[in-house]
A = this chain, B = another copy of it.
Amino acid sequence: MAWNSVIMAPRVKEILSWYGADNPGTLTNLARLLNHGTLGGTGKMVILPVDQGFEHGPARSFAMNPAAYSPLYHFELAIEAGCNAYAAPLGFLEAGAREFAGDVPLILKLNSKDLTSDEKDPISARTGTIDDALRLGCSAVGFTIYPGSALRLEMYEQLAEFAHEAKQAGLVVIVWSYPRGTSLSKEGETAMDVDGYAAHIACQIGAHIVKIKLPTAHLEQAAAKKVYETEKVPIATTAERVRHCVQCAFDGRRILIFSGGPSESDEKLLDSIRAIREGGGFGSIIGRNSFQRSKKDGLKLLRQIMEIYADQKK
């Protein structure tokens, strides 16, 4: 059900009802995200993010599919695949926002980080503004935080400022919450307790939509581990872990979506989509898996993912 339908889908109405503190401007933009594309009206989302050029370098991101060097390519991919939205840093959005104005909801990534050295306690540079998002016709802004980094409090403050300004401007706030930093082991970055905590923090700072990685069954923090074991929190399967993450995100009253992660076999990726659906997750952000192959193959994969999400009863 597309966003210009005469009657809004009940599930979208329900989701909007959770955001009682927001102004009608933000609700309108949230509805635009939820009502656009193949999954419009289902309450599920698949978003195309393309910040890898900035984060990993252009050749590492696009050399395997050189058409993707063009900023126009990603707008087309998101539109043709029927994604709910397309997310990118300032430059990539500036380079196509006029050509594709109104074709797909846009998300401006407000901060980015490059990779010229291995940083132990990461933080990103703020390279976009709320005003940029408005002048480019975006429906939402995106911001990355790294809970676990020694610089996390600084990021939380930056996010709080952006979120406050975005809400006044009627924009949706989407937080990429990625645990990382010297206070965590490598395994701890996707630990169940840490990942749920990361989702909760983003919600507490005021995110409308939170994106995390799929957690493993590892438990990182001793004090948390004890509680998970004592209370017998079910986290054995991916679907159970997704369900627990949803619980951590205000008991399901905030939209929680998951990243696709690095290229693995398509079948494994689709299995994880099924687990997200089963666990009550709200969708996926699929970047490298969609644009680091031919457009035909990328479209095919994105449609398979959307079919899985569309398939569920709800």
Contacts and interface: CB of A to CB of B under 8 A. Distances in A.
Interface of A: 18-22, 53-54, 56-60, 63-64, 66, 69-72, 89-99, 112-117, 123-129, 131-132, 135-136, 147-148, 150, 152-154, 156-157, 160, 164, 179, 181-184, 193-194, 196-197, 199-201, 203-207, 221, 223-224, 227-228, 230-231, 233, 244, 247-248, 250-251, 253-254
Nearest to A128: B160
Contacts of A19: 94
Contact of A179 (B97, B116, B125): B116
A260 B45 CA distance: 43
Number of this chain's copies in the assembly equals 5
Given A148-B116, A181-B116, A247-B58, A164 B129 contact: yes
Contacts of A153: 113, 123-125
13 contacts: A21-B98, A22-B94, A59-B197, A59-B228, A59-B244, A63-B228, A69-B250, A91-B206, A116-B183, A116-B194, A117-B150, A127-B206, A132-B164
Nearest to A89: B204
A5 B250 CA distance: 36
A150 B125 CA distance: 12
A63 B116 contact: no
A70 B197 contact: no
B59 A157 contact: no
Given A21-B93, A91-B204, A117 B183 contact: yes
A60 B199 CA distance: 14
